[in-house]
Structure formats: structure tokens, C-alpha cells
Structure 1
């Protein structure tokens, strides 16, 4: 390590950290790697690059590419083969040194390492694995490590990756097969999904082995994730969340991430430069994703074939309730939890509080407000003494406009950044 040229290394870091910013599929929630003493770091409840853990803490990581050289020419990627961009590549030792230096200075809590593909999948994946292996075995680093799996890499290398990394991820990139064929004709969905299947099978195998042998090694204890680029092709939101739902069921993913395409490259197959995907579309997709993972919604409930895009003016839960007024008003004093949690303005924690508290009291709007509900939305969908009979005659569109007009003013400050979902 004494031979490393740090001035040259800084130049590489500038290029490869910038190139890594488009990959948003990083989160460390779920890892429980403990510091056993005599080592560095602890991945328990900690995480990576300005992400947030379940308890609300902001955490950071060193997020870089091993290289931005790539054998592929994907239209949407700034690292594509034909793009005239500065190129760089770290050595394995340089990534290890950077990680340790950043960690010792308390800049990071872990490493997120991805890469362009040079030579082939195995050649690239072997170097990612070597980085993680040296950090664990030679440097005694016990912090969080997230590795990107490389399409075309062997099952043996993916297995090795899971032994040293807390989390693995494989990007599906473009949600539709037709879109991928247009923008990345050298790739296929089958090729991109292969690592997901391999990792899932290894996770199951290791879990079963650990039931019998506690000394069996852990394998990707924080699971695996994926990412889709949204807006580079003509996919609908319905197609996006249908694919996400399929991935959650088939591969048992921890998360699917959505990255709004930022047009930076001139290409007739892509949106015009300077016309980025609205941030609110990303937000709505994450909210729809949340409904599928935690609220019991199916993709077919959130959107329908004749209206395949999410409403940008209201969150998907409120939009669903407006479309399905036949399910409302809900009597929160007697309705099951599954019905209460679908009321706009009432989240999971509040719904559980309602079910527990109603055994002893008659729940009112004031009670709901104290429990954390957004009553300015919820009041239109629950049975109270005032039942909102004057709204019963309104059409769906008129009802929607009325509810939005009454609720959006109070929540105007939440319309920037990640929108709230209850």
C-alpha cells in the first residue's frame, strides 16, 4: 500500500464517485453483522451514503465504481462504450485503502461498490469480491459492505460475494423487455435477472444450513435489492410496479429502487436532453411500492390498464380510495385492521393504535389526531357523527378535486422531496 500515488488516486476518486451517483439501490437496513472485538466497524443498524435507517438516522458510505470502463453500449448510461467521457479504474488495493482511510476518519460507515464491466462478467466480479475479501480478512473491517453483482458472473463468484458482503444487488435497468432491447440490445432481462435467482437460492440454502449448524457462514445477511431506471423508455407506472411486485414474490427482494432518468446524452432513442423525469413520479412509485410491501395492496389495485400512470397530484393510497368510494366510509370502531389501514391519512402505527384503543373508548377524530393520523384526509373516509352526506352526490372527479383542495394547502410544505404517505 505504500506505493499508492494519492494525487493520482484523488483524480480517480473524482471520476468514479461521480459516475456512481446514478445508482440509488443502496440501503443497509436488515444487516446484523456484529463487531466481535479486535476488528473495525459494526454494520448493525448502520448504513450507507446519505440513506436512512428504519429508526430515522442518516448514515453514509463510500459509494464508488471500481471502473467506468465498460464493454456495453447502453444508450442511457454515461459509462457506455461510445460515450466520450474521462475514464478511470481503481486497483483492488486502492479501493481497500480508500475504504480504510475514509472509515478511520469517520467519514463513512461502509462501502457501496459497483462497476462498469471490463473484459467480462467474471473478470469484473472477481475484483469486486477480492475487495470485500481483503477488507474482511486482512484489514479486519466489520462495517457494512454492499456489492453490485455483475451480469454474466459465475455462480461461484456470486457465492463468494455473499460470504463477504452484507447486501448484494442486481439492477434490472429498464423495466420492459422492449425498452431494454431498444436501449441496450446487448443485454436481456434473462441475463440481468440471473444473479437475483442465484443469490436467492444461496440465501435459502445457507439459512437452512444454519438451522442445523450454527457455525455455518452467513450469506448476504441484509438480502438483495434491485433498481429500475424510470422514464428512459415508454414504460407505464403500471408496468413498473407489476414488475416490482413480481420481483418481490419471485426473488424475495428487500427493496426495489426507482431512479428517474436524467437525460444527459444525445440519442434519438432517449428523451431530449434537459427534460428530466419529474421527481414527483419517483416519489409516487416509492409510495406505491410501500403500499405493496406494507399495506397489503396488489399492483392491480393501485393502477388499472385503462389508467396506467400514477396520479401526480395525490398519493396512490388517496387515489385508490377516491376511485373506490364503495369501500367507505369505514367504521373504525368495528372494522378490521386491514380496512382501517387503507383509510387515507391513517398509517400502520396509527391503525394498530386504533385497534388497541377502541376496546376501551369510542374513537373520535380528536383521538385519531393524537394518534398521529392526518385527519384532514381521513375524515372523508371514516364513519363519524357527521358522515359527510353533503359529499355523497359528487362524482369521482368532483370528489377528488374537493378532497385535494381541502388537504393540499395544509401539506404544501411536504410537496418537495419525499412525499408523506399514510
Structure 2
């Protein structure tokens, strides 16, 4: 039975953990064995939804919200007047097992403020994961927040017991990090990222030769950037993300809109001016285009337009700036170009390429595949001729699409009201 003090700690440390958004759906394949607890399937575990739409849950907490650092953007900074708490190793283990047995969770996301020094904190995080794996035979998903500055030995041990590791770069540029967290630097994050990249790749090669070789962070590593606390453009933010994908084999980069937490620090945006949620959304959409659609960062944003358009998604924005590449004949076009058509997603493009082997596709076929035809039709060769006349400018197409969206939202809202 969990005592009242532990439940009080849980309330404090789960609330403090909500600012870390990098708990993700991983692709670990840690099988249940020897009648143990849990199973991290290929779909992985996340705080809300996996990539296939399955809703899952995990225990998301800090080991402690005590911290030796005074990062201006962090609610757990040492100068902030908040209630403090810290779990023991055994308390976290017991909470995880207890919640799992009650079917509340499928795994654990564990981060921490820094108690005394990086190794002191990291050693406790590792001990929790080790105890879950070895003493309780727990095979559910474990995501550990690696602590910048911790030793390679501790990072190596963490990778043996965790499915995913993450190190938060926190601010998009070194200049902003120095402004808001003078005691930190990007080097302390980049160096362990490189170490983990090498270890993950090495263990994968070893597993190819010997399937009994131990797993090492099979769901890879991720990181998080706080956006909106400083004035970086989306070009700078996505440029940093692209570096992580290209150079560190990062699985995911997360974008966390700054939440104003202080009235007395003139380095930060004022209370009442949080980052618009739509900006986070646009960054994730752009991130998706870079990872899965073959877009280069400079195709999405550039020096002439350093920030994403908040009115429309970045794929549509690119298409409107590149009307010379349209219309596209989906019966002959390369799949990479089909993926760039607004309204056609990654899987839909694959369906189109597969289906056109058997017949010449027409608009009705595309609508049956579930693509957003009211958006895509402006960029397709077999659309009504009036849509492709030179009289239609990018601005006019944008206006048409936005009007269609607004009309759809109004109709959906009216339908919902009619149910009451």
C-alpha cells in the first residue's frame, strides 16, 4: 500500500515532469521472458498515442525537483519558490510495479533535477532501471533522461537497461543557453549524444552477428528544445534539429513551447504571452517533412522567410512557393514528388504508386483512398482545367483552401451542436 507521503511526492514530481515533452513512442522490441512483468512491443510506449494511433500510458515523473542549476526557463530551478520533493530508488520501483500491476501504465519515463552532481543523479536513475529489470524482471518500456556531464560508464549501463535515452539540448542556440542557463553549454550535451550514437550503432552490429548480445537503448535517443523563451527563428530551430538527425541519428526532436513561469526576469517573455500552440504544431509538421518526405530545411524556411507560416501547414507553403513544379500527373510522377503534393500523405503516396500499376487513376480513385482531395486538386494534372489557369495565383489558391477549411469547421461545429 502506497503511503500518504509517497503520494504527496508523486503529486509534486509528476506535475514537475509535465514540462518535459520528450516521452515518445519508441520502437523497442523487448520481449517478455521468464514470466516477467510487461512487454515493450514494436509499437513502443508513449504518454498519449503511438504512431499507429494506439493510446498507451506510462508513469512520468522526476526523481527529484531539487536542482543545483538556476535555468531561467525551468520551473525546478533552484531560485524558484516551489515545494520540493525527492523519491528514493525503492519508492520509484515500487510505484512503477504497483501501477503496472493495476494496469495503470505500460512503462516508465524517468527524469530528474540534479541533486549534487551529474554522476550522483545518473547513478540513481540507472539503479532504478537496473532494479526493475533484474530484481523484478520488468520488461515494459523504460525511458531514462540521461544527465549531461555523467560518466560514459553510467551512460553505458543506462543503455543496457533503458529502451530509450534522451539528453535535452534545451535551447536552440548556444547564445540563448548562455543567456538563460549560464552554467550550461551545448558541448556537455553534444558529447554524450555522440557517445550514445556510437554505442547504439555498435550494439546493433553486434546483434546482427550474435542475436543473444544485449540490447542497448533499442528505441534510440531523443532530445528537446524549448521554443519561444528566446527569439530564435524557425530556421535556426529546424537547422539544429536537422543537425541532430543527420549527425546524431536522433530518433526524435521535441519542441516545447515556453510556458511563462516568472514575473521578475526581464530575460524572459512576460507572463500572459505563452508560445502559441500552433507554432509547436507547425514545427512538428516541418520536422515530419524533413524526416519522412525528403524535404531540406532550406526548402521549408530560409533567410527570406525564416519563420513558418502559422496560417497554413509547411507542405502547402512550399507548394505555393513552387507552383512551377505543378500540376503533377499522379499516374506517371515519381513517388518523391507525389509525397510533396498537399493533401497526399506518406502512406497515400505509396497506395497511389501501388494502385496505378493496375489502372489509370482518376479523382474518384484518389478520394476513395482518403486523400484530402479538396486541397490536392489544385496541384493535380487531371483536375478541372479552371483550377490550373495562370490566373490563379498562390494567394488565391491559399484563400480557396482556407475558405474550404473554415467552411468545414463551421459545418462540423453545427453538427456537434445538433446532438444537444
TM-score (norm 2): 0.94
TM-fit CA distance, 1:6? 1.4
| Separation of aligned partners in 2, 1:169 and 1:404 | 38
Tell me the equivalent position of 2:286: 288
| Separation of aligned partners in 2, 1:254 and 1:40 | 26
| Separation of aligned partners in 2, 1:385 and 1:61 | 47
Tell me the equivalent position of 2:198: 201
TM-fit CA distance, 1:387? 3.0
TM-fit CA distance, 1:280? 0.6
| Contact 1:62–1:112 (8 Å) recurs in 2 | yes
Aligned counterparts, 1:246-285, within 5 A: 246-266=243-263, 267-285=265-283
- The answer as to 2:128 corresponding to 1:131 is yes
| Contact 1:46–1:59 (8 Å) recurs in 2 | no
| Separation of aligned partners in 1, 2:173 and 2:410 | 34
Of 299-308 and 148-157, deviating more is 299-308
| Contact 2:378–2:388 (8 Å) recurs in 1 | no
| Separation of aligned partners in 2, 1:146 and 1:359 | 43
Tell me the equivalent position of 1:419: none
- The answer as to 2:385 corresponding to 1:373 is no
For residues 195-236 of structure 1, give each alpha carbon's deviation from its aligned partner in whole angstroms, at most 9, with x where no partner exists: 211111111111222223332211001111111111111011
Tell me the equivalent position of 1:10: 7
| Separation of aligned partners in 2, 1:84 and 1:124 | 22
For residues 161-200 of structure 1, give each alpha carbon's deviation from its aligned partner in whole angstroms, at most 9, with x where no partner exists: 0000011011111111111111111111111222211111
**Alpha carbons of structure 1 residues 173 and 385: separation in structure 2 relative to 1, 3 Å:** closer
For residues 353-396 of structure 1, give each alpha carbon's deviation from its aligned partner in whole angstroms, at most 9, with x where no partner exists: 21122223221111100011100000000101523356422443
| Separation of aligned partners in 1, 2:407 and 2:249 | 39
- The answer as to 2:140 corresponding to 1:143 is yes
TM-fit CA distance, 1:12? 0.8
Tell me the equivalent position of 2:157: 160
Gaps of 5+ in 1: 416-422
- The answer as to 2:361 corresponding to 1:360 is no
Aligned counterparts, 1:104-115, within 5 A: 104-115=101-112
| Separation of aligned partners in 2, 1:411 and 1:339 | 29
Tell me the equivalent position of 2:100: 103
| Separation of aligned partners in 1, 2:78 and 2:338 | 52
| Separation of aligned partners in 2, 1:269 and 1:16 | 26
Aligned counterparts, 1:162-201, within 5 A: 162-201=159-198
Aligned length: 412
**Partner SS, residue 333 of structure 1:** coil
| Contact 2:26–2:45 (8 Å) recurs in 1 | no
Q: 1:328 aligns with which of 321, 326, 330?
A: 326
| Separation of aligned partners in 2, 1:385 and 1:113 | 52
Tell me the equivalent position of 1:239: 236
